Chain A
Amino acid sequence: MAARTFTIDGKHVSADESATILEAASEVGITIPTLCHLDGVYDVGACRLCLVEVTGVPKLLPACTTRVAEGMDINTDSERLRKYRRMTLELLFAERNHVCAVCVANSHCELQTLAYTLGMDHVRYEYTFPRWPVDNTHSLFGMDHNRCIMCTRCVRVCWHIEGAGTKNVSGRGARSQVISDLNQPWGTSETCTRCGKCVMSCPTGALFAKGVTVSEMERDRTKLEFIVTAREKKQWIA
Protein backbone atom coordinates (compact mmCIF):
# COMPACT_ATOMS: atom_id res chain seq x y z
CA MET A 1 0.00 0.00 0.00
CA ALA A 2 1.52 3.22 -1.14
CA ALA A 3 -0.23 6.47 -1.82
CA ARG A 4 0.08 8.31 -5.09
CA THR A 5 -0.75 11.95 -5.62
CA PHE A 6 -1.83 13.31 -8.95
CA THR A 7 -4.42 15.62 -10.46
CA ILE A 8 -7.76 14.87 -12.09
CA ASP A 9 -9.31 17.78 -13.97
CA GLY A 10 -7.06 20.11 -12.02
CA LYS A 11 -8.10 18.68 -8.66
CA HIS A 12 -5.32 17.38 -6.42
CA VAL A 13 -6.10 13.80 -5.58
CA SER A 14 -4.35 11.07 -3.71
CA ALA A 15 -5.13 7.39 -3.92
CA ASP A 16 -3.53 4.04 -3.36
CA GLU A 17 -1.19 2.87 -6.11
CA SER A 18 -3.52 -0.03 -6.82
CA ALA A 19 -6.40 2.29 -7.71
CA THR A 20 -7.50 2.81 -11.27
CA ILE A 21 -8.10 6.29 -12.63
CA LEU A 22 -11.81 5.47 -12.68
CA GLU A 23 -11.83 4.55 -8.98
CA ALA A 24 -9.79 7.57 -7.99
CA ALA A 25 -12.04 9.91 -9.96
CA SER A 26 -15.18 8.42 -8.49
CA GLU A 27 -13.73 8.88 -4.97
CA VAL A 28 -13.59 12.63 -5.53
CA GLY A 29 -16.96 12.85 -7.23
CA ILE A 30 -15.78 13.02 -10.84
CA THR A 31 -17.95 10.86 -13.05
CA ILE A 32 -16.34 9.30 -16.10
CA PRO A 33 -18.85 7.72 -18.48
CA THR A 34 -18.64 3.92 -18.73
CA LEU A 35 -20.66 1.09 -20.20
CA CYS A 36 -18.59 -2.08 -19.91
CA HIS A 37 -17.40 -1.35 -16.39
CA LEU A 38 -19.34 -2.96 -13.55
CA ASP A 39 -18.31 -2.71 -9.94
CA GLY A 40 -17.30 -6.11 -8.67
CA VAL A 41 -16.08 -7.74 -11.86
CA TYR A 42 -12.78 -7.30 -13.62
CA ASP A 43 -12.49 -4.65 -16.34
CA VAL A 44 -11.91 -5.29 -20.01
CA GLY A 45 -11.51 -1.76 -21.37
CA ALA A 46 -13.84 -2.50 -24.27
CA CYS A 47 -16.37 0.32 -24.53
CA ARG A 48 -13.74 3.07 -24.78
CA LEU A 49 -16.09 5.64 -23.21
CA CYS A 50 -13.86 6.09 -20.18
CA LEU A 51 -10.83 7.10 -22.24
CA VAL A 52 -9.04 10.03 -20.64
CA GLU A 53 -6.15 12.27 -21.55
CA VAL A 54 -2.97 12.06 -19.52
CA THR A 55 -0.44 14.84 -20.02
CA GLY A 56 2.69 13.52 -21.70
CA VAL A 57 1.03 10.33 -22.97
CA PRO A 58 0.23 10.53 -26.67
CA LYS A 59 -2.48 7.86 -26.52
CA LEU A 60 -5.80 8.12 -24.73
CA LEU A 61 -5.95 5.75 -21.77
CA PRO A 62 -8.93 3.75 -20.50
CA ALA A 63 -9.65 4.97 -16.96
CA CYS A 64 -11.01 1.58 -15.94
CA THR A 65 -7.80 -0.36 -16.52
CA THR A 66 -5.12 2.30 -16.04
CA ARG A 67 -3.56 2.52 -12.60
CA VAL A 68 -2.80 5.89 -11.12
CA ALA A 69 0.80 7.03 -10.96
CA GLU A 70 2.66 9.71 -9.11
CA GLY A 71 2.34 13.12 -10.68
CA MET A 72 -0.14 12.04 -13.35
CA ASP A 73 -2.07 14.94 -14.83
CA ILE A 74 -5.41 13.47 -15.90
CA ASN A 75 -8.07 15.19 -17.94
CA THR A 76 -11.43 13.41 -18.05
CA ASP A 77 -13.40 15.95 -20.01
CA SER A 78 -12.32 17.81 -23.11
CA GLU A 79 -13.83 18.84 -26.40
CA ARG A 80 -12.04 15.94 -28.05
CA LEU A 81 -13.15 13.35 -25.50
CA ARG A 82 -16.73 14.58 -25.62
CA LYS A 83 -16.68 14.29 -29.39
CA TYR A 84 -15.33 10.74 -29.33
CA ARG A 85 -17.78 9.69 -26.64
CA ARG A 86 -20.71 10.99 -28.59
CA MET A 87 -19.45 9.21 -31.71
CA THR A 88 -19.05 5.98 -29.78
CA LEU A 89 -22.67 6.21 -28.66
CA GLU A 90 -23.87 7.02 -32.16
CA LEU A 91 -21.99 3.99 -33.47
CA LEU A 92 -23.72 1.83 -30.88
CA PHE A 93 -27.16 3.15 -31.74
CA ALA A 94 -26.54 2.63 -35.45
CA GLU A 95 -25.16 -0.85 -34.91
CA ARG A 96 -28.21 -2.73 -33.64
CA ASN A 97 -31.88 -1.93 -33.11
CA HIS A 98 -32.20 0.25 -30.07
CA VAL A 99 -35.81 1.37 -30.27
CA CYS A 100 -36.13 3.09 -26.91
CA ALA A 101 -39.86 3.73 -27.28
CA VAL A 102 -40.71 0.04 -27.23
CA CYS A 103 -37.85 -1.24 -25.07
CA VAL A 104 -38.32 -2.98 -21.74
CA ALA A 105 -35.51 -0.89 -20.33
CA ASN A 106 -36.86 2.50 -21.46
CA SER A 107 -36.10 5.03 -18.72
CA HIS A 108 -33.91 2.49 -16.90
CA CYS A 109 -31.23 2.12 -19.50
CA GLU A 110 -27.59 3.13 -19.13
CA LEU A 111 -27.16 3.52 -22.86
CA GLN A 112 -30.18 5.78 -23.12
CA THR A 113 -29.10 7.82 -20.11
CA LEU A 114 -25.58 8.24 -21.42
CA ALA A 115 -26.91 9.31 -24.80
CA TYR A 116 -28.83 12.25 -23.42
CA THR A 117 -26.26 13.06 -20.76
CA LEU A 118 -23.61 13.37 -23.45
CA GLY A 119 -25.87 15.44 -25.68
CA MET A 120 -26.60 12.96 -28.46
CA ASP A 121 -29.70 14.42 -30.11
CA HIS A 122 -29.53 12.27 -33.23
CA VAL A 123 -27.36 9.66 -34.90
CA ARG A 124 -25.37 10.87 -37.88
CA TYR A 125 -24.49 7.41 -39.15
CA GLU A 126 -26.86 5.30 -41.15
CA TYR A 127 -28.64 2.74 -39.03
CA THR A 128 -27.69 -0.75 -40.13
CA PHE A 129 -30.98 -2.39 -39.03
CA PRO A 130 -29.54 -5.89 -38.65
CA ARG A 131 -31.86 -8.77 -37.95
CA TRP A 132 -31.11 -10.27 -34.56
CA PRO A 133 -33.20 -12.89 -32.79
CA VAL A 134 -34.79 -12.77 -29.37
CA ASP A 135 -34.09 -15.83 -27.24
CA ASN A 136 -37.19 -16.46 -25.16
CA THR A 137 -36.52 -20.09 -24.41
CA HIS A 138 -35.52 -19.63 -20.78
CA SER A 139 -38.25 -20.05 -18.21
CA LEU A 140 -37.41 -16.87 -16.29
CA PHE A 141 -35.44 -14.58 -18.57
CA GLY A 142 -35.16 -13.42 -22.13
CA MET A 143 -32.30 -12.17 -24.29
CA ASP A 144 -32.95 -9.61 -27.01
CA HIS A 145 -29.83 -9.42 -29.17
CA ASN A 146 -31.21 -6.30 -30.85
CA ARG A 147 -30.48 -4.34 -27.68
CA CYS A 148 -27.12 -5.89 -26.85
CA ILE A 149 -24.06 -3.63 -26.90
CA MET A 150 -21.53 -6.44 -26.31
CA CYS A 151 -20.28 -4.95 -23.04
CA THR A 152 -19.88 -8.56 -21.80
CA ARG A 153 -20.89 -7.66 -18.26
CA CYS A 154 -23.26 -10.66 -18.27
CA VAL A 155 -20.44 -12.95 -19.40
CA ARG A 156 -18.19 -11.71 -16.63
CA VAL A 157 -20.74 -11.95 -13.82
CA CYS A 158 -21.71 -15.40 -15.02
CA TRP A 159 -18.11 -16.64 -14.90
CA HIS A 160 -16.60 -14.67 -12.09
CA ILE A 161 -19.39 -14.11 -9.63
CA GLU A 162 -21.79 -16.94 -10.23
CA GLY A 163 -19.12 -19.30 -11.55
CA ALA A 164 -21.56 -20.96 -13.91
CA GLY A 165 -19.84 -20.06 -17.17
CA THR A 166 -23.05 -20.16 -19.17
CA LYS A 167 -22.63 -16.91 -21.06
CA ASN A 168 -19.90 -16.41 -23.59
CA VAL A 169 -19.15 -14.62 -26.83
CA SER A 170 -19.09 -16.15 -30.28
CA GLY A 171 -18.38 -14.78 -33.73
CA ARG A 172 -16.37 -11.68 -34.42
CA GLY A 173 -16.77 -8.07 -35.46
CA ALA A 174 -20.29 -6.86 -36.00
CA ARG A 175 -21.46 -10.48 -35.99
CA SER A 176 -20.18 -11.21 -32.52
CA GLN A 177 -22.86 -12.10 -30.03
CA VAL A 178 -23.44 -13.27 -26.49
CA ILE A 179 -24.28 -16.96 -26.43
CA SER A 180 -25.38 -19.53 -23.88
CA ASP A 181 -23.24 -22.64 -23.47
CA LEU A 182 -22.35 -23.99 -26.91
CA ASN A 183 -24.41 -21.41 -28.78
CA GLN A 184 -27.71 -23.05 -27.98
CA PRO A 185 -31.10 -21.75 -26.83
CA TRP A 186 -30.71 -20.37 -23.32
CA GLY A 187 -33.58 -22.54 -22.11
CA THR A 188 -31.64 -25.69 -23.01
CA SER A 189 -28.53 -24.64 -21.09
CA GLU A 190 -27.44 -27.18 -18.54
CA THR A 191 -25.04 -24.85 -16.79
CA CYS A 192 -27.38 -21.90 -16.17
CA THR A 193 -28.27 -21.74 -12.48
CA ARG A 194 -31.11 -19.30 -13.15
CA CYS A 195 -29.50 -16.87 -10.68
CA GLY A 196 -30.37 -13.81 -12.75
CA LYS A 197 -27.07 -12.00 -12.19
CA CYS A 198 -26.64 -11.50 -15.89
CA VAL A 199 -30.03 -9.80 -16.03
CA MET A 200 -29.11 -7.60 -13.08
CA SER A 201 -25.83 -6.60 -14.74
CA CYS A 202 -27.19 -5.70 -18.17
CA PRO A 203 -27.00 -1.97 -18.93
CA THR A 204 -29.66 -2.06 -21.65
CA GLY A 205 -32.79 -3.99 -22.46
CA ALA A 206 -30.89 -6.97 -23.87
CA LEU A 207 -31.43 -9.18 -20.85
CA PHE A 208 -34.77 -9.00 -19.11
CA ALA A 209 -37.03 -10.83 -16.75
CA LYS A 210 -39.95 -12.44 -18.46
CA GLY A 211 -43.28 -10.72 -18.03
CA VAL A 212 -42.01 -7.15 -18.07
CA THR A 213 -43.13 -4.83 -20.80
CA VAL A 214 -42.02 -1.43 -22.04
CA SER A 215 -40.19 0.59 -19.36
CA GLU A 216 -40.72 -2.03 -16.70
CA MET A 217 -37.29 -3.64 -16.60
CA GLU A 218 -35.58 -2.11 -13.58
CA ARG A 219 -32.34 -3.57 -12.29
CA ASP A 220 -31.62 -4.08 -8.65
CA ARG A 221 -27.86 -3.70 -8.51
CA THR A 222 -27.85 -4.16 -4.73
CA LYS A 223 -28.29 -7.86 -5.37
CA LEU A 224 -24.96 -7.87 -7.16
CA GLU A 225 -23.37 -5.63 -4.58
CA PHE A 226 -24.36 -8.13 -1.92
CA ILE A 227 -22.48 -10.92 -3.64
CA VAL A 228 -19.50 -8.76 -4.43
CA THR A 229 -19.22 -7.64 -0.80
CA ALA A 230 -19.48 -11.22 0.31
CA ARG A 231 -16.69 -12.26 -2.05
CA GLU A 232 -14.35 -9.39 -1.43
CA LYS A 233 -14.90 -8.69 2.25
CA LYS A 234 -16.30 -12.02 3.41
CA GLN A 235 -19.26 -10.18 4.89
CA TRP A 236 -22.87 -11.07 4.25
CA ILE A 237 -24.04 -7.48 3.96
CA ALA A 238 -24.58 -5.27 0.98
Chain B
Amino acid sequence: MDRLKVATVWLGGCSGCHMSFLDLDEFLIDLADRIELVYSPVVDVKAYPAEVDVCLIEGAVCNADNLEILHTIRKHTRVLVAFGDCAVTGNVPAIRNQLGLRNDENVLQRAYVEGAQTNPGVPREPGIVPALLPRVMPIHEAVHVEHFLPGCPPPADRIKALLTQVLSGTEPRLEGAQLKFG
Protein backbone atom coordinates (compact mmCIF):
# COMPACT_ATOMS: atom_id res chain seq x y z
CA MET B 1 0.00 0.00 0.00
CA ASP B 2 1.21 3.47 -0.83
CA ARG B 3 2.24 5.54 2.10
CA LEU B 4 -0.19 8.29 3.04
CA LYS B 5 0.94 11.65 1.68
CA VAL B 6 0.90 14.01 4.64
CA ALA B 7 1.59 17.73 4.76
CA THR B 8 1.79 20.17 7.64
CA VAL B 9 1.61 23.92 7.31
CA TRP B 10 2.11 26.83 9.59
CA LEU B 11 -0.10 29.90 9.08
CA GLY B 12 -0.57 32.58 11.71
CA GLY B 13 0.59 30.75 14.81
CA CYS B 14 3.54 30.36 17.13
CA SER B 15 4.76 26.99 15.80
CA GLY B 16 3.91 25.47 19.17
CA CYS B 17 1.70 22.90 17.50
CA HIS B 18 4.61 21.79 15.35
CA MET B 19 6.78 21.59 18.45
CA SER B 20 4.15 19.38 19.99
CA PHE B 21 4.22 17.30 16.81
CA LEU B 22 7.92 16.79 17.33
CA ASP B 23 7.10 15.68 20.87
CA LEU B 24 5.64 12.55 19.33
CA ASP B 25 9.12 11.15 19.96
CA GLU B 26 9.49 7.50 18.93
CA PHE B 27 6.08 7.52 17.27
CA LEU B 28 7.72 9.77 14.69
CA ILE B 29 9.79 6.76 13.65
CA ASP B 30 6.66 4.64 13.23
CA LEU B 31 5.15 7.48 11.36
CA ALA B 32 8.10 7.78 9.03
CA ASP B 33 7.40 4.24 7.83
CA ARG B 34 3.77 4.83 7.26
CA ILE B 35 3.54 8.31 5.84
CA GLU B 36 5.35 10.38 3.36
CA LEU B 37 5.83 13.95 4.61
CA VAL B 38 5.43 15.79 1.33
CA TYR B 39 5.31 19.36 2.56
CA SER B 40 6.09 20.90 5.94
CA PRO B 41 8.12 23.60 7.70
CA VAL B 42 10.44 20.75 8.68
CA VAL B 43 11.10 19.51 5.15
CA ASP B 44 12.67 21.46 2.34
CA VAL B 45 9.90 21.50 -0.26
CA LYS B 46 8.99 24.88 -1.67
CA ALA B 47 5.75 24.23 -3.54
CA TYR B 48 2.63 22.55 -2.25
CA PRO B 49 2.31 19.19 -4.04
CA ALA B 50 -0.55 18.41 -6.36
CA GLU B 51 -2.08 15.51 -4.45
CA VAL B 52 -1.97 15.30 -0.71
CA ASP B 53 -3.99 12.95 1.48
CA VAL B 54 -3.94 14.74 4.81
CA CYS B 55 -2.80 18.22 5.76
CA LEU B 56 -2.42 19.45 9.34
CA ILE B 57 -2.85 23.21 9.37
CA GLU B 58 -1.47 25.17 12.28
CA GLY B 59 -2.36 28.80 12.85
CA ALA B 60 -5.12 31.21 12.06
CA VAL B 61 -5.75 32.93 8.75
CA CYS B 62 -4.17 36.33 9.34
CA ASN B 63 -2.91 37.69 6.05
CA ALA B 64 -3.27 37.45 2.30
CA ASP B 65 -0.53 34.82 2.04
CA ASN B 66 -2.26 32.60 4.61
CA LEU B 67 -5.49 32.81 2.67
CA GLU B 68 -3.83 32.06 -0.65
CA ILE B 69 -1.95 28.98 0.56
CA LEU B 70 -5.06 27.80 2.35
CA HIS B 71 -7.04 27.84 -0.88
CA THR B 72 -4.19 26.02 -2.63
CA ILE B 73 -4.12 23.42 0.11
CA ARG B 74 -7.87 22.91 -0.05
CA LYS B 75 -7.66 22.40 -3.79
CA HIS B 76 -4.95 19.74 -3.58
CA THR B 77 -5.79 17.97 -0.34
CA ARG B 78 -8.28 15.27 0.50
CA VAL B 79 -8.56 15.82 4.24
CA LEU B 80 -7.85 19.03 6.13
CA VAL B 81 -7.22 18.97 9.84
CA ALA B 82 -7.40 22.22 11.83
CA PHE B 83 -4.33 21.70 13.95
CA GLY B 84 -4.44 23.52 17.29
CA ASP B 85 -6.51 26.34 18.73
CA CYS B 86 -5.35 29.06 16.35
CA ALA B 87 -6.58 27.07 13.37
CA VAL B 88 -9.75 25.95 15.19
CA THR B 89 -10.78 29.20 16.92
CA GLY B 90 -8.48 32.01 15.83
CA ASN B 91 -7.12 32.00 19.37
CA VAL B 92 -4.40 34.52 20.25
CA PRO B 93 -3.81 35.89 16.73
CA ALA B 94 -7.51 36.76 16.56
CA ILE B 95 -7.36 38.91 19.66
CA ARG B 96 -6.59 41.82 17.37
CA ASN B 97 -10.11 41.50 15.96
CA GLN B 98 -11.36 43.02 19.20
CA LEU B 99 -9.70 46.26 18.18
CA GLY B 100 -12.46 46.63 15.61
CA LEU B 101 -12.24 48.17 12.18
CA ARG B 102 -8.76 48.99 10.90
CA ASN B 103 -7.25 46.76 13.56
CA ASP B 104 -4.75 45.56 10.96
CA GLU B 105 -3.40 49.08 10.56
CA ASN B 106 -3.25 49.53 14.34
CA VAL B 107 -1.30 46.32 14.71
CA LEU B 108 1.22 47.39 12.07
CA GLN B 109 1.64 50.78 13.73
CA ARG B 110 2.22 49.14 17.07
CA ALA B 111 4.75 46.68 15.71
CA TYR B 112 6.67 48.78 13.24
CA VAL B 113 6.31 52.32 14.54
CA GLU B 114 5.49 52.51 18.24
CA GLY B 115 7.66 49.53 19.11
CA ALA B 116 10.50 50.36 16.75
CA GLN B 117 13.83 51.25 18.23
CA THR B 118 15.43 52.18 14.93
CA ASN B 119 13.97 53.17 11.58
CA PRO B 120 10.29 53.30 12.52
CA GLY B 121 8.00 52.81 9.55
CA VAL B 122 5.58 50.21 8.23
CA PRO B 123 7.23 48.26 5.41
CA ARG B 124 4.94 48.80 2.44
CA GLU B 125 7.09 47.40 -0.37
CA PRO B 126 5.50 44.42 -2.10
CA GLY B 127 6.76 41.02 -1.03
CA ILE B 128 7.99 42.15 2.39
CA VAL B 129 5.00 41.94 4.72
CA PRO B 130 1.89 40.33 3.25
CA ALA B 131 -1.25 42.42 3.59
CA LEU B 132 -2.99 41.71 6.89
CA LEU B 133 -6.62 40.68 6.61
CA PRO B 134 -9.04 43.03 8.33
CA ARG B 135 -10.26 40.11 10.38
CA VAL B 136 -8.31 37.07 11.58
CA MET B 137 -10.26 33.87 10.94
CA PRO B 138 -10.21 30.29 12.08
CA ILE B 139 -9.51 28.23 8.96
CA HIS B 140 -13.02 26.78 8.68
CA GLU B 141 -14.36 30.27 8.02
CA ALA B 142 -12.34 30.29 4.80
CA VAL B 143 -12.43 26.71 3.57
CA HIS B 144 -14.16 23.47 4.35
CA VAL B 145 -12.37 21.53 7.09
CA GLU B 146 -12.81 17.83 7.80
CA HIS B 147 -11.39 17.44 11.29
CA PHE B 148 -10.62 19.57 14.28
CA LEU B 149 -7.72 18.96 16.66
CA PRO B 150 -7.99 21.57 19.42
CA GLY B 151 -5.40 22.41 22.06
CA CYS B 152 -2.84 25.11 22.62
CA PRO B 153 -0.85 23.23 21.65
CA PRO B 154 -2.60 19.88 21.21
CA PRO B 155 -0.60 17.51 23.43
CA ALA B 156 1.46 14.90 21.56
CA ASP B 157 -0.80 12.05 22.67
CA ARG B 158 -3.78 13.83 21.19
CA ILE B 159 -1.98 14.27 17.88
CA LYS B 160 -1.01 10.64 18.03
CA ALA B 161 -4.58 9.57 18.71
CA LEU B 162 -5.86 11.43 15.69
CA LEU B 163 -3.06 10.32 13.38
CA THR B 164 -3.48 6.71 14.45
CA GLN B 165 -7.15 6.88 13.61
CA VAL B 166 -6.44 8.48 10.25
CA LEU B 167 -3.74 5.93 9.42
CA SER B 168 -5.93 3.01 10.35
CA GLY B 169 -8.56 4.32 7.98
CA THR B 170 -11.18 4.77 10.68
CA GLU B 171 -13.25 7.88 11.08
CA PRO B 172 -11.24 10.12 13.40
CA ARG B 173 -13.23 10.80 16.53
CA LEU B 174 -11.75 12.63 19.45
CA GLU B 175 -13.86 12.72 22.57
CA GLY B 176 -14.03 14.24 26.02
CA ALA B 177 -10.88 15.89 27.30
CA GLN B 178 -9.18 15.14 23.97
CA LEU B 179 -11.22 18.08 22.67
CA LYS B 180 -10.11 20.55 25.32
CA PHE B 181 -9.28 24.01 24.12
CA GLY B 182 -6.34 25.84 25.66
- A and B, direct touch (CB closer than 8 Å): yes
| Contacts A97-B98, A102-B92; A121 near B182 (Cβ below 8 A) | no
Q: Which residues from B are CB-within-8-Å of A107?
A: 180, 182
CB < 8 Å A-B pair total: 73
Instruction: Write the chain B residue with the least CB distance to A214.
Output: B182
Report which residue of A97, A99, A119 has the largest number of chain B beta carbons within 10 angstroms of its beta carbon. Answer: A99
Taken together as a complex, chains A and B put the C-alpha atoms of A199 and B67 apart, in Å, by: 41
Size of interface on A: residues with Cβ below 8 Å to B: 27
Cβ B179 vs Cβ A127 within 8 A: no
- Tell me the B72-94 residues at the A interface (CB within 8 Å): 82, 85, 88-92, 94
Main secondary structure on A side of the interface with B: loop
Interface size class of B (residues with CB under 8 A): 20 to 34
- Tell me the B89-131 residues at the A interface (CB within 8 Å): 89-92, 94-95, 97-100
Cβ A101 vs Cβ B182 within 8 A: yes
Min C-beta distance of B159 to chain A, whole Å: 14
Is A100 close to B, CB under 8 A? yes
Taken together as a complex, chains A and B put the C-alpha atoms of A106 and B181 apart, in Å, by: 8
A-B contact pairs, 11 of them (CB 8 A): A97-B98, A99-B92, A99-B94, A103-B182, A107-B182, A112-B180, A112-B182, A116-B179, A122-B148, A124-B140, A127-B138
Q: Could you list which residues of chain B lie within 8 angstroms of chain A, going by C-beta atoms? A: 82, 85, 88-92, 94-95, 97-100, 135, 138, 140-141, 145, 148, 150, 152, 174-182
Q: Could you list which residues of chain A lie within 8 angstroms of chain B, going by C-beta atoms? A: 93, 97, 99-103, 106-107, 112, 115-117, 119-124, 126-127, 129-132, 146, 215
